[in-house]
Amino acid sequence: MKLRIVHQTVYRYDLPVRNLVQSLRLTPSVFEGQRTHDWVIDVSGGIRGPGFRDGAGDWIEGWTVRGPTEEVVVATSGRVETRDTAGVLRGHRELIHPLAYLRDTVATRADAALRDLAAGVTDASDPLGLAHRLSAAVSEAIAYRPGRTEFHTTAAEALAQGEGVCQDHAHALIAVARLRDLPARYVSGYLHSTAGGEAHEAAHAWAEIHVQGLGWVGFDPANRCCPDERYVRLGSGLDALDAAPIRGIAAGQGIETLDVAVNVEEVERFQTQSQSQTQS
């Protein structure tokens, strides 16, 4: 699939702020399932700082805005050519040992209900089967319903409530997978929603579970599937915070409001001649 992505985040402050610092994980991953063309990141009024590929294989870019300013726009755009790898993250260069993804965080900490959910999956014959069943169990236990949870909602809270969005599904799946001793992590990215498909937001998140012999495999309990060519992967972490595409902080008293617009559309062909990957 050839996808054109435009992602814009506007931060507004009611009072001017200074020394805004951001750490951006906003560049599509490099692996067999996707190739990136002409990817551009720009932060209005910002200075591009350090850029590097981290141990998880994510391209990280630091930006600073000296200010004072009342508005900062983080704009990314580019094209990604995707291929269905049945959810398997093949050809992805990373250095971190999978076992480092067994530790929990506040968002993924297990409670009794999550333990019951994890223990309730009994008929799996192998780790891959177990991962699929855990994902299905999470889909069953948490209904997709926007607006009922927020960024700080934990897996345990979402499960208690029985509803949530993709972030909550991913957190819950990570929690139950780790309980079954499967390394699991949070993935942030984009999803192209086909016409007539589910009305999910284009900014999306899912989970990856490490399966012996296969490596990392994506699972999207919110859509009851594994990532295919409609998915664009940005980066990963222990939870949503750790994998956040944008982490930033500013000095000043200003109260921040946020406006996000993401557009992922399928195009017939890419118009430019450039086939080089950026920042690989």
Whichever of 47 and 261 has its CB closer to another protein, that residue is 47
Kindly report the backbone phi and psi dihedral angles of residue 145, in degrees, each rounded to the nearest multiple of 5, phi listed first: -150, 110
Burial status of residue 252 (CB atoms within 10 A of its CB: 0-12, 13-18, 19 or more): middle
Cβ atoms of 189 and 205 closer than 8 Å:
yes
Q: Which residues are near another protein by CB under 8 A?
A: 19, 21-23, 47-52, 54-56, 60, 62, 64, 66, 95-97, 99-100, 102-103, 238, 241, 247-249
Q: In angstroms, what is the minimal distance from the CB of 198 to another protein?
A: 31
Burial status of residue 101 (CB atoms within 10 A of its CB: 0-12, 13-18, 19 or more): buried
Whichever of 5 and 20 has its CB closer to another protein, that residue is 20
Whichever of 99 and 160 has its CB closer to another protein, that residue is 99
Q: In angstroms, what is the minimal distance from the CB of 24 to another protein?
A: 9
Q: In angstroms, what is the minimal distance from the CB of 59 to another protein?
A: 12
Cβ atoms of 218 and 131 closer than 8 Å:
no
CA pair distance 279, 231, nearest whole angstrom? 20
Please report the sign of the dihedral spanned by the C-alpha atoms of residue 144, residue 193, residue 196, residue 207. Answer: negative
Q: In angstroms, what is the minimal distance from the CB of 94 to another protein?
A: 9
User: Residue 172's Cα: distance from chain center in Å?
Assistant: 14
Q: In angstroms, what is the minimal distance from the CB of 68 to another protein?
A: 14
Local structure of 129: helix, strand or coil:
helix
Whichever of 118 and 141 has its CB closer to another protein, that residue is 118
Whichever of 30 and 226 has its CB closer to another protein, that residue is 30
Cβ atoms of 142 and 215 closer than 8 Å:
no
Whichever of 221 and 248 has its CB closer to another protein, that residue is 248
Q: In angstroms, what is the minimal distance from the CB of 76 to another protein?
A: 17
**Which run of H or of E encompasses 118?**
helix 112-119
